[in-house]
Copies of this chain bind each other. A is one copy, B any other.
């Protein structure tokens, strides 16, 4: 999916939002339940959410996993494939973004609904780029979750409302957000530890001056003035994680 397609997608989303178009419930005409897979690193959440979704009129949970890797394994042996995949963004082993990308290519019939604690612009963008159809925050109420699942199944898209993701702000940040490169992420990973830049240079087989270049670029891109600020901002944007 290109950058342009994402923006288009979001524009379409906004139009839906503004016209207040709510598709009629086309589900359950056949009496068949819509099948759902759940992936989250907290197994207790997976299991309790399963009960909640099974309590929805048209839905049944057919797959559970606690990380991206496991999700792909389960997905391979699940037949037929689930209609919807509800997945957490930050998981160990294989995170939501990677997993979504693979699923989009392998099983395009499965619509992906991202579920996250964090209303972080770049993460949302990355999830949409990786092929997810909706992005919900974990503080949605069950009613809205059900509405979202319904709408993603019928229209292939869901926008949330004022209480959820702010697509307008998002769209703005897509245009202005600078990209962080792979090499910069490698650097960030090492910068987010108890090492000096000189030590980082050695580990990356680079000169200290090159490292300083990355630092400078990232200060600019993340809009910070110190290494501590850089690391904290990187953690907030899910570029790295503490551990």
- In whole angstroms, what is the CA distance A70 to B140 when docked? 18
Contact in complex: A141, B194 (CB < 8 Å) = no
Q: Is A28 positioned at the interface, with any CB of B under 8 Å from its CB? A: no
- In whole angstroms, what is the CA distance A51 to B115 when docked? 19
- In whole angstroms, what is the CA distance A183 to B47 when docked? 42
Q: Is A52 positioned at the interface, with any CB of B under 8 Å from its CB? A: yes
Closest B residue by C-beta to A47 = B142
- In whole angstroms, what is the CA distance A145 to B43 when docked? 12
- A15-23, A103-111, A172-180, A227-235: which lies at the B interface? A227-235
**Which residues of the other chain, B, contact A117 by a CB distance below 8 angstroms?**
42
**Which residues of the other chain, B, contact A145 by a CB distance below 8 angstroms?**
44
Contact in complex: A138, B45 (CB < 8 Å) = yes
Given the interface pairs A52-B51, A236-B242, the reply to whether A194 lies near B44 with Cβ below 8 Å is: no
Closest B residue by C-beta to A115 = B44
Select one of B41, B51, B139, B225 contacting A194, CB under 8 A: B225
Report how many copies the assembly holds. 2
Q: Is A191 positioned at the interface, with any CB of B under 8 Å from its CB? A: yes
- In whole angstroms, what is the CA distance A225 to B195 when docked? 8
Can you list 9 A-B pairs, Cβ within 8 angstroms, ordered by A? A44-B52, A44-B138, A45-B49, A47-B142, A48-B51, A193-B229, A195-B226, A227-B228, A235-B235
- Per CB-CB distance, the 10 closest pairs between chain A and chain B, nearest first, are A194-B229, A48-B52, A48-B48, A51-B51, A42-B138, A48-B49, A43-B139, A44-B138, A47-B142, A194-B225
Q: Identify 18 new A-B residue pairs, CB closer than 8 A, beyond the known A45-B45, A231-B231.
A: A42-B138, A42-B139, A43-B139, A44-B138, A44-B140, A47-B52, A48-B48, A48-B50, A51-B51, A51-B55, A66-B139, A192-B228, A194-B226, A194-B229, A196-B226, A228-B228, A235-B242, A236-B242
Task: Give chain A's interface residues, CB within 8 Å of chain B.
Answer: 41-45, 47-52, 55, 66, 115, 117, 138-142, 145, 191-196, 224-229, 231-232, 235-236, 242-243
